[in-house]
């Protein structure tokens, strides 16, 4: 399939949209099939990768996001056959609005592991606090978006739909702000690591000195870590683009041009989330970071130092 033909499919809207729940169009059946298959394949792959690496945290994050996207696009596929039904419309609104949120949470967890590996002294927040703060914000965003989506989907009049839309907009804007803050802090962390400028201003000690003194040491950024960092950056970029699109879409209103143009949704929401999902398939933390997510590094360093002390007779 050529790029031109694929673009034509993305822009295609079925005929007879006069009574469609989607306003000026009926969801493209071909596009819906494509995204259901893509999300299903990625989710199944993540299930296998997560079980193999025994990374259980991927279940309520990456796997949940994939399942919600499959369900949401299945709703759009259902609507392509029955565009006047409200149930599939409700399913796609709620699931596609909250679906990427657990995927954003995965970014926070992975960055915490990278900070733990490279050196917490370069971060303004410790690895554990990083996850706690941003995950808490992500959960708030998820609840607000879900509540707004439910209200909008079940509304019987325009006022109810507008109320739900405004609540969803608040959740999306909050998530967008969190993504921006996360990006700024992670960029600062990498800048400080590359230029060896710890937050406190003190240079990190060597591994042996750090272990003896209880200080933190600078970790090595090997090839796997570099790939993980690059994957993390591309993933959050895709989710940022999607959040910006959703913010503009909801700000434009239910009768606006953005929400009534199918190709915008297909490219700026569906395609962005697909890319984000597959990024973690190819740059999977289980392979690049490991099951322990960097938690065993300090233990390993301490064990190595104790062995060295015994062998050399040092106190």
Nearest one of 7, 64, 61 to 34, comparing CA atoms: 7
* pLDDT tens digits, 57-102: 999 999 999 999 999 999 999 999 988 888 898 899 889 989 999 9
Q: Rounded to two decimals, what is the model's pTM?
A: 0.83
The residues with which 205 forms a beta bridge, in sequence order, are 217
Nearest one of 270, 279, 262, 261 to 241, comparing CA atoms: 270
* Cβ atoms within 10 Å, residue 252: 15
* pLDDT tens digits, 3-19: 445 444 444 444 455 56
* pLDDT tens digits, 251-290: 888 788 888 889 999 999 999 999 999 999 999 999 999 8
């Amino acid at each position: 399939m050529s790029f031109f033909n694929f673009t034509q499919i993305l822009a295609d809207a079925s005929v007879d949209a006069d009574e469609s729940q989607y306003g000026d169009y009926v969801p493209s059946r071909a596009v819906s099939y494509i995204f259901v298959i893509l999300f299903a394949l990625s989710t199944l792959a993540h299930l296998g990768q997560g079980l193999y690496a025994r990374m259980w945290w991927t279940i309520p994050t990456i796997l949940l996001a994939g399942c919600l996207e499959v369900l949401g696009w299945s709703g759009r596929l259902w609507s392509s056959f029955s565009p006047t039904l409200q149930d599939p419309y409700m399913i796609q609104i709620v699931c596609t609005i909250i679906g990427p949120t657990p995927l954003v949470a995965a970014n926070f967890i992975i960055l915490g592991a990278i900070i733990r590996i490279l050196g917490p002294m370069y971060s303004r927040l410790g690895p554990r606090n990083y996850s706690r703060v941003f995950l808490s914000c992500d959960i708030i965003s998820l609840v607000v978006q879900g509540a707004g989506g439910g209200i909008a989907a079940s509304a019987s009049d325009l006022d109810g739909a507008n109320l739900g839309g405004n609540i969803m907009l608040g959740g999306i804007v909050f998530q967008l702000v969190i993504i921006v803050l996360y990006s700024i802090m992670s960029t600062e962390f990498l800048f400080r690591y590359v230029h060896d400028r710890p937050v406190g201003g003190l240079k990190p000690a060597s591994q042996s000195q750090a272990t003896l003194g209880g200080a933190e040491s600078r970790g090595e950024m090997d090839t796997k870590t570099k790939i993980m960092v690059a994957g993390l950056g591309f993933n959050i970029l895709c989710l940022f683009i999607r959040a910006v699109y959703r913010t503009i879409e909801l700000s434009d209103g239910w009768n606006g041009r953005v929400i009534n143009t199918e190709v915008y949704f297909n490219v700026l929401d569906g395609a962005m989330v697909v890319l984000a999902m597959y990024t973690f398939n190819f740059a999977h933390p289980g392979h690049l970071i490991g099951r322990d997510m960097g938690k065993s590094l300090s233990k390993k360093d301490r064990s190595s130092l104790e062995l060295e002390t015994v062998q050399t007779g040092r106190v």
